[in-house]
Structure 1
Amino acid sequence: MDVRAQVSMMFHLDKCIGCHTCSVACKNIWTDREGTEYMWWNNVETKPGTGYPTKWEDQDKYKGGWQPKGKTIKLKVAENKSNTFANIFHQPHLPTIDDYYEPWTYKYGDLFDAKAGDDQPTARPVSLITGKNIDINAGPNWDDDLSGSSVYAKNDPNLTEEEKQALFEIERLTMFYLPRICNHCLNPACVASCPSGALYKRGEDGIVLLDQNTCRGWRFCISGCPYKKTYYNWKTGKSEKCILCFPRIESGQAPACFHSCVGRIRYLGVVLYDADKIEATASAPENELVDLQREMILDPHDPEVIAAAEKSGVPFSMVEAAQKSPVYKFVKKWKLALPLHPEFRTLPMLFYIPPLLPVLGRMEDGVYNVDSEDYFTSLDKARLPMRYMANLFTAGNEEQVRLVLEKLLTVRTYKRAEEVGDMDSAQLKAMFEKTGLTPELCEEIYRLTSLPTFEDRFVIPPTHREYVAELTMEDAYTFKAEIGFGGFKTVRLERGA
């Protein structure tokens, strides 16, 4: 058992109000400069929808992530050595500026300095890249609040053709927000695909970073990342990505997008995991990926895990942070949070609690009727089909996502019974039996979801500068890859450079 520590994250989608405060906070700190105008390290998408960049989930187009090959896995972007070598100076699977959007500003001088006249002055939009006048046709979340439209929802790859057509019925119109940042994966395809070795995973906390001095701008990382969270700076000729605000974490502060979140949907904490299981987990059948990733996360209270962590060089203060981690509770203890698109096999360390969507019903005599025999049957009448949520969070396994939603519904029902007193106790007892929850667990989940303090949501590990300063290349954790003229084989986390 090779125990490592990882700073992990959890987003509660039922609480996201789509205000984009997180995106603006990140933009103002990290990407408010020339060459980064189109970059949103944190972005908020409307689902159903095509996302940013457009249809980033379609790996037939972008060739991101890993694919099974025998008993192991192989990068999709590196199909064979000859193709990889031929593409080293030209990446055919990159998103274009049209897949993102052409960033713009306005000619405010035309508005503020206009001479007095009979006509109302206007500020024309101009491209931040070319400086020329443009017609605005897209943005980082151009489909904001427009899910169900024939432009965006109709092109969502997670919906079947029949579901796309049904979505346009007025009673089915629905949407939710999906905030996204770099997942700082355990098996990052961006790291494995970089020919220059510029991308690496920090040994002390697992944050994935990009060395600007080593980057050669080959952009394999952009194609390799299935979440499209690595970007190319056209001004510097280097790639850039979310760094999880590690300077803030090292000074005891939450990342900017976490700290600024109005809906308080974001949680951050340390989890301990067994690095020996990375390859086996990433190579597993799709329907086992979620459960196996959970199994990789270890109990920080287990004496054997603590001893193994000490043997691996994990400071005990990091273990203590893992013991208090809200992410560990949501992911491992309560099994409420799920990874986004686990079928990409990168083992993302950003988890989501799926939203409880409105149900589909009809009006009868002034009453909205959903024809539900009990509360759980309402999940089958959600305006978005269960398959949609499964395609997002469980690689198509509907039972796994259904169990999460049943637990969330049980907590909601328990609190309603406690506050309003109009719930059938027998029905509530049946819900407890089916989900494995108890009144005590429901109360614990409710308090960490609805009434958490700043310290409850963000358990930031203390920085050991003396430990980091003494790290050598032999101590650091890096990803090993056999490279021959761009031919990449399976990568796994190992000690040594």
Structure 2
Amino acid sequence: MKIRSQVGMVLNLDKCIGCHTCSVTCKNVWTSREGVEYAWFNNVETKPGQGFPTDWENQEKYKGGWIRKINGKLQPRMGNRAMLLGKIFANPHLPGIDDYYEPFDFDYQNLHTAPEGSKSQPIARPRSLITGERMAKIEKGPNWEDDLGGEFDKLAKDKNFDNIQKAMYSQFENTFMMYLPRLCEHCLNPACVATCPSGAIYKREEDGIVLIDQDKCRGWRMCITGCPYKKIYFNWKSGKSEKCIFCYPRIEAGQPTVCSETCVGRIRYLGVLLYDADAIERAASTENEKDLYQRQLEVFLDPNDPKVIEQAIKDGIPLSVIEAAQQSPVYKMAMEWKLALPLHPEYRTLPMVWYVPPLSPIQSAADAGELGSNGILPNVESLRIPVQYLANLLTAGDTKPVLRALKRMLAMRHYKRAETVDGKVDTRALEEVGLTEAQAQEMYRYLAIANYEDRFVVPSSHRELAREAFPEKNGCGFTFGDGCHGSDTKFNLFNSRRIDAIDVTSKTEPHP
């Protein structure tokens, strides 16, 4: 057993209001630069829908993630090394700019410089941020399907409608929607790392964050295809790939990510998870896709187990990280309460950004008396958001974990409503779903109140363990792969920095 630690995230979809604050703040901090105008490290999608980029969940088209071969070994869906090499100069599975959107701005200056007395009112026309030319029509945007925008024929192409009679959901009275914030999953078994020909992508040992070495990246873009979540973007200005860095400068300082810090609905939770690195391959190679969720749970370790603590210390895990893991809200939601679920575990990447399925539309329908009652709790199998849809999204089609999570949240609400409204203690619902009163009270504190110190338990990094820290003190800080001096670095034929020649023809006056 080799113990490692990772900073994971849980998003409570039950509270997401679709305000896009996380997307805007992330955009302002990390991708408001030339070359990545179209890139959104964090975006909020409305489900059902094809998402961003279009149809990103269709791995038959994009070939992302892993597949299990007949011999039980894993292989990138793109193919083996020879197949990757054959596609290195012409990748047919790469999303184009039209699958994202052509970034644009508007000629606002025209509103100020238009001549007086003009017979027509000046307007601000859209202009492409790639070509600089005016656009006749805006064809797409990063949140083009926001709030069920568009006709149902396009929304119905959502891969999560598999095994569901989706025709009935085209009727207005049967429509449903939910918000799905997405970012890099910082997987335990990242396919992007395996498909990078340059070896530029790596996973940090101390916190599990997956990063791209901008000095090693050569812009082959195989990682874009390899990532099944399509959260790696190509910077056409620098010729490098970029992705969500999980705000690692903030994580190292013990602070939450920008998207978590600015979340209006308090839906994001950050915490440390201890896991067995030796169990990753066995878990990802599970034959039945529906068992992948349970196998990933078995990879995580109990931070309160004395044997785990002893082994973690031997493996170099600092005590502050172990203590943070013991207080981790991510561990509570994923392991203790079984509320949080992974996004598309069938990709076999073992993602580390998990989601609590939404309950709000369910509870409102139950309160209205529109649902049949199953004892104390309403019959969650016949709710507005299809359970099978949530299962296709979060548990590879297995409805049992989704039903358990929904029932437990309903039971917690039933218990707290009886306590605050009726002034009595009613534990019947809790007993039905296997929860104690102490667990229900703690769930209420974490899910409903969601105090800052409960949501974010992030230990600061131990830089005293780094080697040769003194030479790094005056070194270059965070860059985008173009040196310490700016973003206008020129590249030579071999994609390395060009050393400008010294002009020896100019004469200089001798120094007196």
TM over 0.5: yes
Contact 1:357 1:382 in 2 (8 A): no
- Residue 83 (structure 1) shift: 2.7
Listed as ranges, the gaps of 5+ residues in structure 2 are: 470-512
- 1:108–1:298 distance in 2 versus 1, CA, 3 Å: same
Which of 317, 321, 326 is equivalent to 2:320? 317
Q: How does the TM-score come out when normalised to structure 1?
A: 0.89
1:21: how far off? Answer: 0.6
8 Å Cα contact 1:27/1:40 also seen in 2: yes
Q: 1:386 Cα deviation (Å)?
A: 1.1
Cα distance between partner residues in 2 of 1:440 and 1:147: 42
Q: Which residue matches 2:500? A: none
Please show how residues 122-141 of structure 1 align to structure 2 within 5 Å.
Answer: 122-134=123-135, 135-141=137-143
Q: What amino acid does structure 2 have at the position aligned with 1:340?
A: L
SS at match of 1:444: helix
The separation in 2 between residues aligned to 1:160 and 1:273, in whole angstroms, is 32
Aligned position for 1:437:
435
Contact kept? 1:299, 1:305, Cα under 8 Å: yes
- What CA deviation, in whole Å up to 9, does each residue of 1:426-448 have, x standing for no partner? xx51x323311022211100001
> Which amino acid in the other structure matches residue 421 of structure 2?
V
Task: Please give the residue correspondences for 1:367-446 in structure 2 after superposition, counting only pairs within 5 Å.
Answer: 369-374=370-375, 376-421=377-422, 425=426, 428-429=427-428, 431-446=429-444
Distance in 1, Cα, partners of 2:84 & 2:244: 26
**CA 1:3–1:111 in structure 2 vs 1: closer, same or farther (change >3 Å)?**
same
Contact 2:42 2:182 in 1 (8 A): yes
User: Secondary structure in 2 aligned to 1:55?
Assistant: coil
Shifted more, 163-172 versus 407-416: the winner is 163-172
Are residues 1:331 and 2:330 paired?
no
CA apart distance, 1:333: 1.2
C-alpha distance in 2 between matches for 1:346 and 1:133? 41
Give the conservation status (yes or no) of the 8 Å contact 1:143–1:152.
Answer: no
Q: Quick check: 2:340–2:356 contact (8 Å CA) kept in 1? A: yes
Residue in structure 2 matched with residue 484 of structure 1 by the alignment: none
The structure with the larger Rg is 2
Pair 1:3–1:82, CA change in 2 (3 A): closer
The residue identity in structure 2 corresponding to 1:389 is L
Deviations, residues 231-289 of structure 1 (Å, cap 9, x unaligned): 11111111000000111112232111111100110000111001110000001121211
Aligned partners of 2:442, 2:81: CA distance in 1, in Å?
Answer: 52
SS of equivalent residue, structure 2 residue 170: coil
- Within 5 A, what are the aligned runs for 1:32-111? 32-69=32-69, 70-78=71-79, 80-111=80-111
Tell me how far apart the structure 1 counterparts of residues 290 and 369 of structure 2 sit (CA, whole Å). Answer: 37
Gapped runs of 5+ residues in structure 1? 472-497
Whether the 8 Å CA contact 2:191–2:227 is kept in 1: the answer is: yes
Question: Structure 1 residues 371, 423: closer, same or farther in 2, change over 3 A?
Answer: farther
SS in 2 for 1:28: helix
Instruction: Tell me by how many angstroms 1:93 deviates.
Output: 0.6
Residue 17 (str. 1) matches residue 20 (str. 2): no
Aligned mates of 1:423, 1:370 — CA distance in 2: 25
Q: Is the 8 A contact 1:359 1:381 kept in 2?
A: no
Task: Output the amino acid matched with 2:397.
Answer: G
SS at match of 1:355: coil
CA distance in 2, matches of 1:368, 1:140: 38
**Alignment check: 8 A CA contact 1:387 1:396 kept:** yes
Q: What SS does the corresponding residue of 2:152 show, helix, strand or coil?
A: coil
Aligned equivalents of 1:183, 1:195: Cα separation in 2: 21
- State whether residues 363 and 410 of structure 2, in contact with CA within 8 Å, keep that contact through their aligned partners in structure 1: no
1:351 corresponds in structure 2 to: 354
- Secondary structure at the aligned position of 1:293 is classed as helix
Taking a change above 3 Å as real, the CA distance of residues 357 and 153 of structure 1, as seen in their structure-2 partners, is: farther
**In structure 1, C-alpha distance between the alignment counterparts of 2:146 and 2:100, rounded to whole Å:** 15
Q: What's 1:480 paired with?
A: none
CA, structure 1 residues 346+113, in 2 after alignment: closer, same or farther (shift >3 Å)?
Answer: same
CA positional deviation for 1:118: 4.3
User: Which structure carries more strand by proportion?
Assistant: 1
Q: For structure 1, which segment, 143-152 or 460-469, has the greater mean C-alpha deviation from structure 2 after superposition? A: 143-152
- How many Å apart are 1:113 and its aligned residue? 2.0
8 Å Cα contact 2:415/2:430 also seen in 1 = no
Deviation (angstroms), 1:157: 1.0
The answer as to whether partners of 1:360 and 1:382 remain within 8 angstroms in 2 is no
Partner of 1:340: 343
* Higher alpha-carbon deviation: 167-176 or 402-411: 167-176
Range with greater deviation from structure 2 (11-20 or 151-160) = 151-160
What amino acid does structure 1 have at the position aligned with 2:337?
W
Match of 1:234 in 2: 236
Query: Contact 1:359–1:378 at 8 Å: present in 2 too?
Result: no
Measured after TM superposition, the shift of residue 115 of structure 1 is 2.3
Q: 1:166 to 1:245 in 2, by over 3 A?
A: same
> How far off its partner does 1:470 sit?
6.5
Which residue number in structure 1 is paired with residue 453 of structure 2? Answer: 455
Q: TM-score, normalised by structure 2?
A: 0.87
Output the CA distance in 2 between the equivalents of 1:102 and 1:155: 22
CA shift, 1:81, in A, is 4.2
Letter of the aligned partner of 1:259 in structure 2?
A: E
Aligned partner of 1:310: which letter?
I
**Cα 1:399–1:211 shift into 2, 3 Å:** same
Change over 3 Å in CA distance of 1:147–1:404 after alignment to 2: farther
Q: Which of residues 243, 254, 263 in structure 1 aligns to 2:245?
A: 243
1:149-193 per-residue CA deviation (whole Å, 9 max, x = no partner) reads 414421111114863211121211221100011111000000111
Q: Distance in 2 between matches of 1:130 and 1:164?
A: 40
Q: For residues 103 and 147 of structure 1, do their structure 2 counterparts lie closer, same or farther at Cα, with a shift above 3 Å needed?
A: closer
Are the counterparts in 1 of residues 103 and 130 from structure 2 also a CA contact under 8 Å? yes
Aligned CA distance change for structure 1 residues 361 and 464 (closer, same or farther; 3 Å): closer
The question of whether the paired residues in 1 share the 8 Å contact of 2:381 and 2:403 is answered with no
Structure 1 residues 281, 373: CA separation in 2 closer, same or farther (over 3 Å shift)? closer
Residues 147 and 174, structure 1, Cα contact 8 Å, conserved in 2: no
Paired positions, count:
464
Retained in 1: the 8 A contact 2:329–2:455?
A: yes
Cα distance change of structure 1 residues 360 and 299 upon mapping to structure 2, 3 Å threshold: closer
For the residue of structure 2 that corresponds to 1:4, the secondary structure is: strand
